[in-house]
Amino acid sequence: MPTTGNLGLLGLDVDNIMVEDEEVDKVYNGNVLVWERVNGGPVSTVTIIENGFVKVASGSGYTCIQRSTTGSGTGFTCTATINNSFDCTAVSITNGGSGYVVGDEITLDFTTVADGSREVTYVELEVTAVT
């Protein structure tokens, strides 16, 4: 990956910058820093992008933790609502964690459901806002 180059940027309002398919953390105009990646923060809102298939009785209050993420955030927890079709239809954030950025995807692990009888397919969320 080149360490220098002319990007011709004027007025940046972006979350990520790619150079030759690699994300960069900082962009300089000469010696002047003109953009730096945001380190992230706690999750404040999410969108369900995969409802999953969770073999539990329909209801709410199922405790979930982050199983994995596409970013580097940690500590996210929530409670989930499951319908009669075993789909996750809503989540309520109980701890936004830290280090998340908009666009990160979080895969959930249902901790209040015994292993072997819980997720057939995982519930996935997309971070839509951080604070």
Pair (52, 33) in one structural domain: no
- E strand residue ranges, the chain: 18-19, 22-23, 26-29, 32-36, 43-50, 53-54, 59-69, 77-82, 88-95, 105-110, 119-121, 124-130
Q: For the chain, what is the domain count?
A: 2
Pair (33, 52) in one structural domain: no
Pair (29, 55) in one structural domain: no
**What pLDDT sits at residue 31?**
84
Pair (51, 87) in one structural domain: yes
- 69 is in which domain, residue-wise? 43-130
The answer to whether the CB of 76 falls within 8 A of the CB of 100 is yes
Reported as a single tens digit per residue, the pLDDT across 91-126 is: 999 999 999 999 999 999 988 777 666 677 899 999
Q: How confident is the model at residue 10 (pLDDT cuts 50, 70, 90)?
A: very low
Pair (28, 58) in one structural domain: no
Distance CA 34, CA 31 (A): 9
CA nearest 130: which of 56, 43, 9, 52? Answer: 43
Pair (17, 54) in one structural domain: no
Pair (95, 32) in one structural domain: no
Pair (17, 76) in one structural domain: no
Pair (85, 121) in one structural domain: yes
Pair (50, 95) in one structural domain: yes
**What pLDDT sits at residue 86?**
92
Reported as a single tens digit per residue, the pLDDT across 39-57 is: 788 999 999 999 999 888 8
DSSP string, 38-64: ---B-EEEEEEEE--EE-S-SEEEEEE
Distance CA 68, CA 1 (A): 28
Pair (56, 118) in one structural domain: yes
- Asked whether the predicted pLDDT for residue 12 surpasses 50, the reply is no
- Asked whether the predicted pLDDT for residue 62 surpasses 60, the reply is yes
Reported as a single tens digit per residue, the pLDDT across 73-90 is: 999 999 999 999 999 999
Q: State pTM to two decimals.
A: 0.71
Pair (123, 66) in one structural domain: yes
Mean pLDDT of 18-22: 62
